């Protein structure tokens, strides 16, 4: 069934096969345009035009607000499919969904955020995220900048040193201190529409990989309504929805990149096999390494699925969701996924050899390797391990297999 366009206020039919839609966008548009986005460090406009046209940006929004209420497992699958075609597109799609998940989890009780969700679903608005800040780096649980309030209006100036696809986004969700007298960890999250902010570019995005995410630096200057701030403190939003969703969806993107690299390695070994004489009896070059890497990818997949199920279960129990052990498990997912994805792509390069090292050709995995090397840095693994270490030492050790 062909998906219905939702450029304006039109609902998408429930039976639309989202996976098929994403496969088509990935194959027909994202994959053939990935090299250009990478080479020119430009936003994958055609891919996101297609995703918007097919109603793919509001799938997580509740049905009561015009969305499809799609669950995390399905969204993770869609992120992986898109990332296999273009890592940057997959990451942009995942970052949008991560922000949307915070809106869905924490915005249902406020008029402003409900209206925003409805617009995301019906007008296919794209959401960007501003947590990283000058002088703070990747520690999203601390801010320098602060909200200033005058009556029912607020203002904010943030040195947002890494802010992906900011100029393409319709909405930016930003963290800040609650007020100028607040401690750095007393943060709020504010949702901003285009008319609420100005962007002054302060840093380019000329990087090794993930070039199409256009994660430039900006001074973000805001004047908005006080009701655009989420009622819940940011530390609760982070623990209860954002961190777990981010780790699941980032992991799904890295899985998609690794799986596509390995499928190229698989194709290269099969091409070698076809060239061998029919009486060839020796070990097929690359086959053993391919088998090892396939086992790693299988473990990656099982672990990712187990963590998605773990998160879904925790959502039914707020104490569990806010517990140290849940945070440790989700942090461990990020470390595992970012490490394994790099390993698998490196193995794919070893299998494909020079054909993989080339930037062109069917077996090339150069872009995959450059893109996936961002995984351990995207909130530095050392930073996450340091946080996890404190939680592990403070918690009871669980030796069980339950
Ligand atoms: C593709 C991509 C897209 C991104 N998009 C966005 C976006 O849209 N919005 C946004 O806000 N951010 C974004 N980021 C930023 C990202 O999420 C991190 O915040 C940022 O990459 C961290 O930058 P950093 O390495 O300079 O800082 P830090 O995290 O401060 O790390 C600096 C160095 O210090 C080390 N370090 C830090 N803390 C510790 C510690 N406690 N123990 C030991 N070592 C430590 C790290 O290992 C690292 O080597 C993006 C990043 C990438 C790669």
pLDDT digits (tens, 9 = 90+) for 53-87: 999 999 999 999 999 999 999 999 999 999 999 99
pLDDT per residue over 125-143, tens digit each?
999 999 999 999 889 999 9
Tell me how far apart the alpha carbons of residues 264 and 267 are, in angstroms, rounded to a whole number: 5
- Region 200-225: what's the mean pLDDT? 98
Same fold across 129-228 and 234-274+285-394: no
**Cα gap 1→15, rounded to integer Å:** 8
245 within 8 A of 96, measured Cβ to Cβ: no
Compute the C-alpha angle 355/361/366, nearest 5°: 65
Confidence of residue 160 (pLDDT cuts 50, 70, 90): very high
- What is the pLDDT averaged over residues 331-342? 98
At 48 the pLDDT is 98
Q: Is the CB of 164 under 6 A from ligand 1?
A: yes
Three-state helix/strand/coil letters over 151-176: CCEEEEEEEEEEECCCCCCCEEEEEE
How far is 38 from 317, CA to CA, in rounded Å?
42
Coil, helix or strand for 11? coil
How many A from CA of 370 to the centre of ligand 1?
17
Q: Which fold has domain 18-126?
A: Butyryl-Coa Dehydrogenase, subunit A; domain 1 (1.10.540)
> Which of 44, 214, 246, 378 to mutate to test ligand 1, by most ligand atoms within 8 A of the CB atom?
378
User: In the predicted model, what is the mean pLDDT of residues 250-274?
Assistant: 96
- Asked whether 363 and 265 are in contact (CB, 8 A), the reply is yes
117 vs 57: CA distance, rounded Å: 11
- pLDDT of residue 163 exceeding 60, the answer is yes
Distance 20 CA to ligand 1 centre (A): 34
Confidence of residue 402 (pLDDT cuts 50, 70, 90): confident
Instruction: Collapse the DSSP code of 188 into the 3-class scheme (helix H, G, I; strand E, B; otherwise coil) and give the result.
Output: strand
- What percentage of the chain carries pLDDT values higher than 70? 96
Give the C-alpha separation, 283 to 368, whole Å.
27
371-398 average pLDDT score: 93
**Domain 234-274+285-394 superfamily per CATH:** Butyryl-CoA Dehydrogenase, subunit A, domain 3 (1.20.140.10)
CA distances (Å), origin 365, targets 125, 177, 261, 337, 342? 32, 42, 6, 18, 12
Supply the pLDDT for residue 224.
Answer: 98
Pocket test residue of 383, 387, 389, 390 for ligand 1, highest count of atoms within 8 A of CB: 383
What is the pLDDT confidence band of residue 16, given thresholds at 50, 70 and 90?
low
Buried b (16+ CB within 10 A) or exposed e, 150-181: eeeebebebbbbbbbbbeebbbbbbbbbbeee
**pLDDT confidence of residue 282:** 74
Which atom of ligand 1 is found nearest the CA of 91? 1
Query: What's the average model confidence in pLDDT over 88-96?
Result: 98
Closest CA to 297 of 272, 261, 250: 261
Q: Considering only CA atoms, which residue is closest to atom 40 of ligand 1?
A: 383
Instruction: Extract the tokens encoding 148.
Output: 């200033």
pLDDT of 252 over the 90 cut: yes
Rounded to an integer, what distance in angstroms lies between the CA atom of residue 4 and that of residue 390? Answer: 49
Q: What is the pLDDT of residue 356?
A: 97
Ligand 1 pocket member 374 (CB < 6 A): yes
Going from the C-alpha of 273 to that of each of 259, 268, 287, 295, 347, the distances in angstroms are 21, 9, 10, 21, 19
Domain ranges of the chain: 18-126, 129-228, 234-274+285-394
Query: Ligand 1 atom 19: the closest Cα is on which residue?
Result: 138
Residue 137 near ligand 1, beta carbon < 6 Å: yes
Banded pLDDT at 2 (limits 50, 70, 90): very low
Task: Label residues 340-378 b or e (16+ Cβ within 10 Å = b).
Answer: bbbbbbbbbbebbeebbeeeeeebbbbbbbbbbbbbbeb
Per-residue model confidence (pLDDT) at position 138: 86
pLDDT digits (tens, 9 = 90+) for 105-120: 999 999 999 999 999 9
DSSP 317: -
Torsion angle, alpha carbons of 89, 93, 99, 100, to 10: 160
Span 158-183, average pLDDT: 98
The two tokens of residue 10 are: 């039109």
- In CATH, the number for domain 129-228 is 2.40.110.10
Confidence of residue 11 (pLDDT cuts 50, 70, 90): very low
Q: What share of the chain in percent tops pLDDT 90?
A: 88
The predicted pLDDT at position 43 comes to 98
| Cα 201 to averaged position of ligand 1 atoms, centre (Å) | 19
Are the beta carbons of 61 and 68 closer than 8 angstroms?
yes
Give the mean model confidence (pLDDT) for residues 381-395. Answer: 93
Q: What angle is formed at CA 375 by the lines to CA 372 and CA 366, rounded to 5 degrees?
A: 15
């Amino acid at each position: 069934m062909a998906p219905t366009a939702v450029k304006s206020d039109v609902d998408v039919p429930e039976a639309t096969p989202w996976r098929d839609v994403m496969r088509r966008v990935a194959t027909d548009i994202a994959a053939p345009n990935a090299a250009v986005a990478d080479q020119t460090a430009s936003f994958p406009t055609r891919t996101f035009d297609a995703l918007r046209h097919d109603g793919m940006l509001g799938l997580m929004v509740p049905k009561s607000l015009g969305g499809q209420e799609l669950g995390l497992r399905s969204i993770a699958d869609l992120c992986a499919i898109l990332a296999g075609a273009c890592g940057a597109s997959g990451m942009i799609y995942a970052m949008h969904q991560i922000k949307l998940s915070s809106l869905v989890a924490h915005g249902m009780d406020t008029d402003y955020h409900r209206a925003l969700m409805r617009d995301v679903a019906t007008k296919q608005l794209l959401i960007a995220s501003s947590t990283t800040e000058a002088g703070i780096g990747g520690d999203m649980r601390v801010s320098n900048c602060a909200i200033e309030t005058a009556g029912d209006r607020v203002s904010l100036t943030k040195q947002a040193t890494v802010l992906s696809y900011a100029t393409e986004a319709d909405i930016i969700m930003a963290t800040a201190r609650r007020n100028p007298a607040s401690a750095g960890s007393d943060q709020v999250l504010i949702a901003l529409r285009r008319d609420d902010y100005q962007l002054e570019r302060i840093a380019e995005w000329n990087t090794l990989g993930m070039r199409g995410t256009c994660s430039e630096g900006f001074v973000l200057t805001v004047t908005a309504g006080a009701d655009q701030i989420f009622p819940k403190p940011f530390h609760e939003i982070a623990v209860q929805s954002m961190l777990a969703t981010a780790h699941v969806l980032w992991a799904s993107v890295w899985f998609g990149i690794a799986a596509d690299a390995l499928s190229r390695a698989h194709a290269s070994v099969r091409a070698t096999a076809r060239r061998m004489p029919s009486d060839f009896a020796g070990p097929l070059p690359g086959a053993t390494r391919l088998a090892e890497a396939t086992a790693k990818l299988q473990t990656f997949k099982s672990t990712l699925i187990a963590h998605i199920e773990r998160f879904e279960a925790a959502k039914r129990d707020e104490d569990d969701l806010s517990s140290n052990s849940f945070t440790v498990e989700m942090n461990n997912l990020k470390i595992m996924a970012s490490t394994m994805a790099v390993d698998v792509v490196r193995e794919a390069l070893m299998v494909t050899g020079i054909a993989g090292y080339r930037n062109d050709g069917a077996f090339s995995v150069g872009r995959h390797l450059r893109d996936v090397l961002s995984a351990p840095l995207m909130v530095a693994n050392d930073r996450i391990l340091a946080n996890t270490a404190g939680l592990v030492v403070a918690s009871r050790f669980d030796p069980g297999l339950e």
